[in-house]
């Protein structure tokens, strides 16, 4: 058999050495292989090498990859492609199949690593650990050029076998090193006798370990110390409790804590949470409740039931004696007002007194008997009534009534009997003619109202309805004026109970407003609503009494304004004649504003002021509602400001217009104020104007006929001429008489005009002499004045003839 094999070998070798007579090119070989693949003779995939001159099967490629891994243990896929001479794509594909079919291999970052390789690495690491006691995993990963997680995952199953070490916090430690550190942790932990944070303990231990290992030592992580500590605690080598993983409380400290708490609570019957915090007990309430189930937790302290019994006895005595007590005064200083309040609510005597309304708790800690509070309140209530009346009166202005003979309107004569007198009333004083002052007031004759139209009888209701939208806010403001302030109430309380003055405010009891816990402040706050209700009831009674008087007041005011405002409109029309003469127009406007306009403005403001007082609950004398007043500028302003809301704004506008230079501006503001007040002003129509002018003319004729003063006669004559010529009722001061006469020049013949001018010149001369001689006693001056006056008196009949003709009466 052996001989046959040897023979076959020789034949094969000979066949190989024999040169073929037919040679195939590379191209022919490629075509031949392709043909064989098409015929199915070659039924497997063939791979080209990178040179393109060789074929290799996939199975052969896997075998060569496996052989390289077995030889090296760790090989790169790129290096395999170069070594085998096959394209990288095919090598990676087959390498993945190899790794997938072999559990002992892993493909990491383009490298195939076998378990034998890691075993050899583990042996090397173990040898290094015997030399340096500790190695960082990160350092090993850097040397092996792989990730730390991979190194850690490879070493963990080999710890205790190939690697005699402990892995903790990314570090490998030898058992001897771990025992040394364990001894350090045990000693340091047993030296702690107060609650401590273990994180603060690891820092010095870490420094000690580094000093022991020298410059080559690696820093130890806190987690390594913590794991050792947890193991020692589990083995009961240390006694204590660990909270949140790092807060360590030794058992010796916990024992001392409990002994201290027991001693303090048994001696004082209470213990404060602040002292518990100092003892290191954070959850004091839970600790004390678990230890003393019969105790009561308060806001700042934990008490025994005996403390409540003591406070109950003290408060019961105070209530029975109709007195008061500050519970904090009988409790230790560590108790707060919240603690006192909670204890009071637990006292049986206080509970029964509160239920029977025999006592009251103020400011959490003060207990006052109801009789004690009532005695103080009754005294203060009487004084509060007087205060509210005084305060309500002080907030309103009481204008002084001034009578002026030279300031009168043209009132409508409503008396039927007066018609028989045909306007010959002697009660009206004539205006005087002056040269300089335009503030002098001109007395105006009264006229009759022959026609009286109906007015709204409910004007009082309109006044109230206008202010309806603002009623609530106004009432609130008015209430504040009559409500005693806190300082007043506290002062009256101190007057009743002097001992309250020393309640934290010995220097000045008004400082109680800055001390919200003062009994004086609390008692004042309690009594204030009671006083307010009492005052409101009193004001409600006054309001009821004032209701009818307010309606009558508005009706009377409406009647006065009806007559006066019609006269004002009549006089305003005469001002149109002087619009071209601005200097004279200014004088006439100001004169009318300071006479008739001032009268009706004062009448309205005074009426609204009285109405406001009544509405505010102020008692007003009946005589003051009927008084005719003349106010100065400051009094008008004060009355206007005292009104409410938009009424005050319109009243101030009226006062401002009265101080101005235009009558039309005054009329607009007067109408606005009257409308806002709910009053209805009549408009002067043609019929009323004729009636008033006729009455005014008759009155002037009567006065011109009976006037005995030569100076006063000139003004009446000029006014009567304006009615006859221009059909206007002119109101002119002395300084405007000359301009008024000049305005009549074109309407009079020369003789009549000369008579007027001569009389006016003589009048001015007489007034100048009288002014110059005032305060002097010279016979010559008196003679000159007498002579000049006699001259004027001699011309009076001629002046009357201008306006009356020959029908003038005989003068005595």
Cβ contacts of 563 within 8 Å, gap of 6 or more: 409, 410, 411, 412, 449
How large is the average pLDDT for residues 436-449? 36
How large is the average pLDDT for residues 564-582? 85
Tokens 């023979």 label which residue? Answer: 7
Compute the distance between CA of residue 540 and CA of residue 518 in angstroms, rounded to an integer: 33
Region of 10 please: left (phi>0), alpha (psi -120 to 50) or beta.
Answer: alpha
Structure tokens at 414: 């409503």
The values of phi and psi at residue 455, to 5°, are -115, 170
The values of phi and psi at residue 537, to 5°, are -65, -40
Residue 191: half-sphere exposure toward Cβ, Cα within 13 Å: 8
Looking at residue 450, what is its pLDDT?
Answer: 36
Structure tokens at 336: 């707060």
**Are 99 and 110 contacting, i.e. CB atoms less than 8 angstroms apart?**
no
Compute the distance between CA of residue 614 and CA of residue 747 in angstroms, rounded to an integer: 55
pLDDT at 41 over 80: no
Determine which helix (DSSP H) or strand (DSSP E) holds 701, and give its type and residue range. Answer: helix 686-706
Looking at residue 397, what is its pLDDT?
Answer: 38
The values of phi and psi at residue 482, to 5°, are -105, -5
CA 642 to chain centre: 29
How large is the average pLDDT for residues 391-398? 48
122 forms beta bridges with none
Looking at residue 297, what is its pLDDT?
Answer: 92
Which class for 807: exposed (0-12), middle (13-18), buried (19 or more C-beta within 10 A)?
A: exposed
**Are 732 and 596 contacting, i.e. CB atoms less than 8 angstroms apart?**
no
CA 376 to chain centre: 37
Compute the distance between CA of residue 564 and CA of residue 412 in angstroms, rounded to an integer: 8
Compute the distance between CA of residue 466 and CA of residue 647 in angstroms, rounded to an integer: 9
Q: In 97-233, at which residue ranges do the beta strands (DSSP E only) sit?
A: 105-108, 111-114, 134-136, 166-168, 171-173, 196-197
**Are 281 and 292 contacting, i.e. CB atoms less than 8 angstroms apart?**
no
Which of 655, 681, 683 lies closest to 669 in space, CA to CA? 655
Cβ contacts of 336 within 8 Å, gap of 6 or more: 299, 300
Looking at residue 5, what is its pLDDT?
Answer: 82
Which of 625, 647, 606, 603 lies closest to 468 in space, CA to CA? 647
**Are 663 and 593 contacting, i.e. CB atoms less than 8 angstroms apart?**
yes
What's the pLDDT band for 347 if we cut at 50, 70, 90?
very high
What's the pLDDT band for 134 if we cut at 50, 70, 90?
confident
pLDDT at 302 over 90: yes
pLDDT in tens, 466-507: 444 444 454 555 555 567 777 888 888 888 888 777 654 334
What's the pLDDT band for 348 if we cut at 50, 70, 90?
very high
Looking at residue 17, what is its pLDDT?
Answer: 77
The listed range with the strongest mean pLDDT (72-81, 320-329, 409-418) is 320-329
pLDDT in tens, 745-800: 888 888 888 888 888 888 888 888 888 876 555 556 677 778 778 777 777 888 78
Structure tokens at 688: 């009323």
Structure tokens at 307: 């403390």
Q: In 511-599, at which residue ranges do the beta strands (DSSP E only) sit?
A: none
Looking at residue 420, what is its pLDDT?
Answer: 34
Compute the distance between CA of residue 812 and CA of residue 806 in angstroms, rounded to an integer: 17
pLDDT in tens, 224-253: 767 777 777 777 677 777 767 777 777 777
Q: In 470-569, at which residue ranges do the beta strands (DSSP E only) sit?
A: none
């Amino acid at each position: 058999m052996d001989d046959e094999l040897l023979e076959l070998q020789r034949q094969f070798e000979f066949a190989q050495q024999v040169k073929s007579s037919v040679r195939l090119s590379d191209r022919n070989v490629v075509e031949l292989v392709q043909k064989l693949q098409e015929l199915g003779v070659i039924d497997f995939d063939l791979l080209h090498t990178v040179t393109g001159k060789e074929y290799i099967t996939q199975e052969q490629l896997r075998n060569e990859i496996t052989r390289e891994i077995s030889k090296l243990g760790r090989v790169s896929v790129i290096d395999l492609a170069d070594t085998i001479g096959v394209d990288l794509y095919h090598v990676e594909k087959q390498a993945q199949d190899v790794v997938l079919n072999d559990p002992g291999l892993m493909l990491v970052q383009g490298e195939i690593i076998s378990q034998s390789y890691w075993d050899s690495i583990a042996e090397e690491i173990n040898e290094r650990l015997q030399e340096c006691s500790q190695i960082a995993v990160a350092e090993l990963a850097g040397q092996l050029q792989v990730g730390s997680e991979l190194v850690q995952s490879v070493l963990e199953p080999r710890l205790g076998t190939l690697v005699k070490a402990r892995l903790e916090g990314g570090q490998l430690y030898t058992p001897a090193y771990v025992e040394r550190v364990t001894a350090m942790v045990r000693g340091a932990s047993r030296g702690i006798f107060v609650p401590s944070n273990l994180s603060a303990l690891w820092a010095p231990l870490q420094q000690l370990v580094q000093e022991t290992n020298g410059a080559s030592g690696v820093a130890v992580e806190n987690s390594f110390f913590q794991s050792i500590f947890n193991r020692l605690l589990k083995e009961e080598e240390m006694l204590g409790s660990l909270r949140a993983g790092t807060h360590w409380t030794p058992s010796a400290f916990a024992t001392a804590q409990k002994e201290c708490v027991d001693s303090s609570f048994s001696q004082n019957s209470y213990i404060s949470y602040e002292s518990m915090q100092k003892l290191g007990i954070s959850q004091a309430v839970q600790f004390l409740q678990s230890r003393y189930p019969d105790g009561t937790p308060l806001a700042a302290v934990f008490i025994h039931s005996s403390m409540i019994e003591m406070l109950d006895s003290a408060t019961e005595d105070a209530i029975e004696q109709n007195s008061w007590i500050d519970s904090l005064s009988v409790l230790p200083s560590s108790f707060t007002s919240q603690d006192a309040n909670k204890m009071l609510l637990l006292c049986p005597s206080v509970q029964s007194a509160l239920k029977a309304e025999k006592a009251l708790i103020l400011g959490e800690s003060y207990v006052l008997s109801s009789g004690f509070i009532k005695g103080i309140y009754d005294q203060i209530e009487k004084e509060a009534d007087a205060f509210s009346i005084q305060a309500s009166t002080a907030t309103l202005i009481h204008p002084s009534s001034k009578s002026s003979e030279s300031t009168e309107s043209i009132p409508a004569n409503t008396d039927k009997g007066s018609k028989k007198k045909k306007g010959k009333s002697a009660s009206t004083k004539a205006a005087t003619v002056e040269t300089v002052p335009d503030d002098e007031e001109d007395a105006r004759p009264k006229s009759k109202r022959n026609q009286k139209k109906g007015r709204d009888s409910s004007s009082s209701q309109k006044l109230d309805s206008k202010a309806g939208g603002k009623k609530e806010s106004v009432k609130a403001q008015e209430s504040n004026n009559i409500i005693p302030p806190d300082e007043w109430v506290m002062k009256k309380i101190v007057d009743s109970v002097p001992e309250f003055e020393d309640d934290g405010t010995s220097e000045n009891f008004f400082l109680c407003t800055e001390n919200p816990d003062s009994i004086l402040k609390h008692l004042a706050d309690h009594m204030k609503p009671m006083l307010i209700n009492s005052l409101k009831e009193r004001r409600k009674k006054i309001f009821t009494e004032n209701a009818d008087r307010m309606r009558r007041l508005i009706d009377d005011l409406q009647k006065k304004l009806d007559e006066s405002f019609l006269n004002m409109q009549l006089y305003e029309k005469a001002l149109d004649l002087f619009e071209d003469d601005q200097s004279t127009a200014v004088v006439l406007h100001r004169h009318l504003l300071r006479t008739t306009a001032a009268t009706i403005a004062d009448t309205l403001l005074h009426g609204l002021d009285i109405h406001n007082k009544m509405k505010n609950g102020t008692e007003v004398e009946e005589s003051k509602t009927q008084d005719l007043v003349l106010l100065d500028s400051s009094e008008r302003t004060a009355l206007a400001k005292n009104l409410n809301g938009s009424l005050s704004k319109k009243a101030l506008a009226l006062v401002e217009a009265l101080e101005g230079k235009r009558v039309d501006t005054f009329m607009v503001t007067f109408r606005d104020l009257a409308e806002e007040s709910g009053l209805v002003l009549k408009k002067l129509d043609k019929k009323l104007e004729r009636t008033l002018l006729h009455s005014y003319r008759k009155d002037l004729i009567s006065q011109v006929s009976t006037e005995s003063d030569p100076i006063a006669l000139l003004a009446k004559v000029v006014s009567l001429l304006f009615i006859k010529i221009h059909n206007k009722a002119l109101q002119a001061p002395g300084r405007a008489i000359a301009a008024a006469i000049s305005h009549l020049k074109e309407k009079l013949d020369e003789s009549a005009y000369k008579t007027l001018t001569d009389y006016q010149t003589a009048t001015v001369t007489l007034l100048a002499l009288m002014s110059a001689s005032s305060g002097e006693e010279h016979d010559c001056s008196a003679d000159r004045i007498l002579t000049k006056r006699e001259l004027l008196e001699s011309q009076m009949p001629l002046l009357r003839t201008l306006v009356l003709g020959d029908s003038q009466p005989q003068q005595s």
